[in-house]
A and B are shown apart, each in its own frame.
Chain A
Amino acid sequence: MKYTVNEQGYYGDFGGAYIPEMLYPNIEELRQQYLSIINDTAFKAEFDALLKDYVGRPSPLYLAKRLSEKYGANIYLKREDLNHTGSHKINNAIGQILLAQRLGKKRIIAETGAGQHGVATATVCALKGIECVVYMGEIDMERQAPNVARMKMLGAKVVPATSGSKTLKDATNEAMRDWINNPVDTHYIIGSVVGPYPYPEMVAKFQSIISLETKKQLLEQTGKELPDYALACVGGGSNAMGMFYHFLDDESVKLVAVEAAGKGVDSGHSAATSVLGREGVLHGSRTILMQTDDGQVVEPYSISAGLDYPGIGPQHAHLHKVKRAEYVSITDDEALNAGLLLSQLEGIIPAIESAHAFAYLEKMTFKPTDNVVICLSGRGDKDLDTYIKHFGY
C-alpha cells in the first residue's frame, strides 16, 4: 500500500520518531515487538473476542433513510457511538491493553482531552486489573467534570496537567514526562494516530476494524463493498484513519476529513490544522501543526474538546499533501446544527465531534446513486450541556 508507513516510520515526508534519548528504549521495544505481538494468533483471538463480547462489535452500518432523502444520496452511518463507553476510542484501548500485558507492563498512563480516551483507557485497565494514571489538562477537567468522575469510579487516578495552556497538548507532554521517568514498568496508551512511530501505525491498525466492517456490511447491504464517499471528523484523526484505512488503495473512494473551524478558520479561534498549520514536529512526529512564526505551538480552539488539538496525525499530513483525502472544515455553529438535525431526522444525538462530519453533507452535491459512509464516532450524551446551552432546551 503506497499510503502506509515505510520501515523508518515515515509516511512520505511525515512521521518518524522525534523523541528524546530517554524514550528510545521504550519506543524501540514497541517498534520491535508490536507487529509480532498483534499478528500472533492468540492475541488476535483475544482482541476479536473482546471487541465482540465486551465492546459489542460489529457496530451496525445503518442506512439513514430520512437523512438520505434530505441530501439525495444513500447515507450509511457507521455506529461507533454504540460501542461500550460510547465512542471508537475503546477499539484502540482494548488493543493496547492486550499489547501492554504481553510486554509485561504493570502500569498504564494515558492523556485525554474531552475524557473519552481517558474513560476508554480507565475501562480496559479495570477490565485487566492494571494500575491506570490519566493526565488531563486542568481546564479540561473543569469542562468535562462528569468524565473525570467516570474515570475515578473506574479506579483510575486523574492527574491535572498544570503546565502551558492546561489542555490536551499539555496533558500529552505530562504523559510523555511520566513515561520518561518510568521507562521500564509503564506503557503509554496514546489515544490517537499521533506520537512517535510506531504509535500512529499501531493506533490506525486497531481502529481499522471500522473500515474492515464497513466494507463487509456495504457488500451485504448494497452488493458493492466500496462506497463513493467516506467521511469522518479529524482532531488527531483516529476515527478518520480507522474509516479510511481499508479504502486508501481504492482510489475511486473519495475520502473526506472534516476538521473543526471553531468560530471560523480566520477568526483566531480555530482548530483547522490543515489550513492554519505548517510542517514541523509535534509530540514525537513530523506532521502539520498550528504554530507561531517562531515555532511555538499554538493553542487551538473548537467547541468540541475531541477536535481541539494543534496537529494531525502524520498519515493525515501525508494524505493531505498528496491529496488522497480532502481536508475541509466546519464551524461550531454548523456542527451544532448538524447534531440537532441528526437528532430530529434519525433519533440519534451525536457527539459534537462526529456532528462536524455530518455538517459537511450540506456542502456536498451527490448523484442519487451515490453511497456515502459517515463515521458516527461517538454519542452525544457527554455534550448534552453544550447542546442545551446553545439551543436553549
Chain B
Amino acid sequence: MIFLTMNRELTTMNRLNQLFNTKNKNLLSVYFTAGYPELNSTVSIAEALEKAGVDFLEIGFPYSDPVADGPTIQHSSQVALDNGMNLNLLFEQLAELRSKVSIPVLLMGYVNPMVQYGVERFCQKAAEVGVDGVIVPDLPMYEYEMLYKDVFAKHGISNIFLVTPQTSEDRIRKIDGLSNSFVYLLSSASITGKALQLNNEVDTYFGRIKAMQLKNPTVVGFGIGDNAAFTKACEYNNGAIVGSAFVKYLGSRKDYLEGINDFVKGLRG
C-alpha cells in the first residue's frame, strides 16, 4: 500500500518535476479563470497557450468571495460563475484538456469550494484528469498539515505555498520543506493585479530568497504583467506567472484566441 502510494506520487509528479529538471530558467506560466470569458473557453485557451510556448498553466476555479484577488480576477470569477462554471464541469473540461495539452496544469482557487466538493474527492478527481498541483491561498500551512497533507500525498497532488516579502526566514524554510514542486513567490504583499515596482527593494527581496538556496525552484507571481517584470523575476528565479494582465487581455477582445500568441511573445520579449 505504501509502495503503491509512493509510486503514484512519483508518476503524477513527473510532469511538473520533469519540467523543472529539463528547464530551470525563464519558465513562463499563465493564469486564467475557468469559464471566462465563455463557459467553454477553457480548453481552447489552454491549447493556444501551449502552442504559444507557455511552460505550464494555472487555471482558476471561481469562487464568490476571492479575498486575495484584485478587481480583474474577481470580475472574471463572477462572470465565470454567472456563465455556470462549477467544479464538476471544470473536471470534465480538464479531462478533455488533458487529451490535447501536455504541459503541467495547476488549479488555483479557494478552500471552501474544495471543502464542499470534499477535499479527498477533489484530489482524486484532479489526479484522474491530469492536474499536477493546486494553489489554495486561504489554506494555511497549519491547517494543510493537520487536515489535508496525507490526502494530497495519497493522490500525488502537489500543494503550492505562497511566500511574500514579509514571510520570515523560518517560515520560508518550513514552506520549502513541505513543498515538492516549487515555491510561489509573491512579488509584493498585495492582492493580484498590482504591477511589480522595479526598484531596489525587489532586488533585495529576490536576492535574499535566492541566497537561501531553497531545495525547491522559485516562481514569481502577482504583479507580473509585461516583459520588464518577467525579465526581472527571471533574473533571480526559475520563472514567473502572469495572471491579471492575461485575464484583462481575454476580456478586451472578442477574438481573444487569435492574439494569444502575440501576447505570450510580448511577455517573453
Residues of A within 8 A of B (CB): 8, 16-22, 24-25, 163-164, 169-170, 173, 176-177, 180-181, 183, 278-284, 289, 291, 293-297
Q: Which segment, of B43-51, B59-67, B235-243, faces chain A?
A: B59-67
Asked if B153 lies at the interface with its beta carbon under 8 angstroms from chain A, I say: no
Cβ contact within 8 Å between A280 and B138:
no
Cβ contact within 8 Å between A181 and B190:
yes
- Provide 5 A-B residue pairs closer than 8 Å at the C-beta atoms, listed in order of the A residue: A16-B143, A17-B143, A21-B167, A278-B116, A281-B111
Closest 8 CB pairs of A and B: A295-B116, A295-B113, A20-B137, A21-B162, A296-B64, A294-B86, A20-B68, A176-B67
Cβ contact within 8 Å between A295 and B63:
yes
Cβ contact within 8 Å between A180 and B191:
yes
Q: Which residue of B lies closest to A297 (CB)?
A: B64
Closest-CB distance, A109 to chain B (whole angstroms): 14
One of A21, A163, A164 near B140 (C-beta < 8 A): A21
Q: Say whether, besides A22-B68, A181-B190, A293 and B78 are in contact (CB < 8 Å).
A: no
- State which residues 166-208 of B face A: CB under 8 Å: 166-168, 171, 186, 189-191, 194
Cβ contact within 8 Å between A24 and B140:
yes
Cβ contact within 8 Å between B115 and A280:
yes
Asked if B112 lies at the interface with its beta carbon under 8 angstroms from chain A, I say: yes
* A8 / chain B contacts, CB cutoff of 8 Å: 142, 146
* A20 / chain B contacts, CB cutoff of 8 Å: 67-68, 137-138, 162
Q: Which residue of B lies closest to A27 (CB)?
A: B140
The CA-CA distance from A280 to B119 in the complex, in Å, is 11
Asked if B81 lies at the interface with its beta carbon under 8 angstroms from chain A, I say: yes
Q: Say whether, besides A180-B191, A281-B115, A297-B112, A17 and B140 are in contact (CB < 8 Å).
A: yes
The CA-CA distance from A47 to B112 in the complex, in Å, is 37
Closest-CB distance, A379 to chain B (whole angstroms): 32
Cβ contact within 8 Å between A22 and B116:
no
Residues of B within 8 A of A (CB): 63-68, 70-71, 74, 78, 81, 86-88, 110-117, 137-140, 142-143, 146, 161-164, 166-168, 171, 186, 189-191, 194
Q: Say whether, besides A16-B143, A20-B138, A297-B65, A280 and B112 are in contact (CB < 8 Å).
A: yes
Identify whether the interface residues of A are mostly helix, strand, loop, or mixed.
mixed
Cβ contact within 8 Å between A164 and B65:
yes
Closest-CB distance, A132 to chain B (whole angstroms): 21
The CA-CA distance from A20 to B163 in the complex, in Å, is 10
Closest-CB distance, A291 to chain B (whole angstroms): 7
List 16 other contacts, CB 8 Å, given A8-B142, A22-B164, A281-B112.
A20-B68, A21-B161, A22-B68, A22-B162, A22-B186, A22-B189, A22-B190, A24-B171, A176-B67, A181-B194, A280-B115, A281-B110, A294-B86, A296-B64, A296-B113, A297-B65
* A180 / chain B contacts, CB cutoff of 8 Å: 67-68, 189-191
Cβ contact within 8 Å between A296 and B191:
no
The CA-CA distance from A163 to B71 in the complex, in Å, is 8
Q: Say whether, besides A21-B140, A278-B116, A297-B112, A164 and B64 are in contact (CB < 8 Å).
A: yes
